[in-house]
């Protein structure tokens, strides 16, 4: 489905100052297939986030239809790692019934990673150790009859 890795520099502007968030837009091509749309009965999106930065994050996933109308949204809270040891957070978003219809209507996914202050977190600099990575997969349940 998707994967990325970000270092501290991803969250800094040209002067080295922390930015409040970063975002990206992904086109959801797999859902545009008539076969998938007609036969999909359930979907699970499974996310694994590993953070070794001493900064907490919130990852927000917003699903939009072709008219840019929000269809579905959820967030994943990621703890900071004061010791820079990799901390893994897992999240499974299940789509069935109304949320499945929202997923089928979606053509774009906007991912926004917001920096969150925490009592034990630090301000990121170009020299901050660690990284934050996300890997995900989709599990699609299809019912096909002829």
The 10 Å CB-count burial string (b at 16+, else e) for 38-74 is eebebbebebebbbbbbbbbebbbbbbeeeeeebbee
Q: What is the pTM of this model?
A: 0.93
Look up residue 87 and give its two tokens.
Answer: 């901390």
The residues of the chain scoring below 50 in pLDDT are: none
pLDDT in tens, 68-105: 999 999 999 999 999 999 999 999 999 999 999 999 99
* CA–centroid distance for 40 within its chain: 22
Predicted confidence at residue 118, as pLDDT, reads 87
């Amino acid at each position: 489905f998707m994967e990325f890795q970000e270092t501290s520099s991803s969250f800094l502007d040209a002067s080295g100052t922390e930015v409040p968030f970063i975002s990206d837009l992904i086109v959801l091509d797999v859902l545009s297939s008539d076969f998938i749309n007609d036969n999909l009965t359930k979907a699970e999106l499974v996310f694994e986030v590993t953070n070794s930065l001493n900064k907490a994050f919130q990852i927000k996933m917003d699903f939009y239809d072709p008219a840019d109308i929000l269809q579905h949204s959820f967030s994943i809270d990621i703890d900071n790692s004061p010791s820079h040891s990799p901390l893994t957070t897992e999240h499974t978003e299940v789509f069935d019934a109304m949320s499945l219809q929202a997923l089928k209507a979606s053509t774009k996914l906007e991912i926004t990673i917001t920096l969150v202050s925490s009592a034990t977190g630090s301000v990121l600099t170009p020299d901050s150790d660690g990284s934050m990575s996300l890997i995900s997969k989709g599990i699609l349940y299809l019912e096909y009859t002829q």
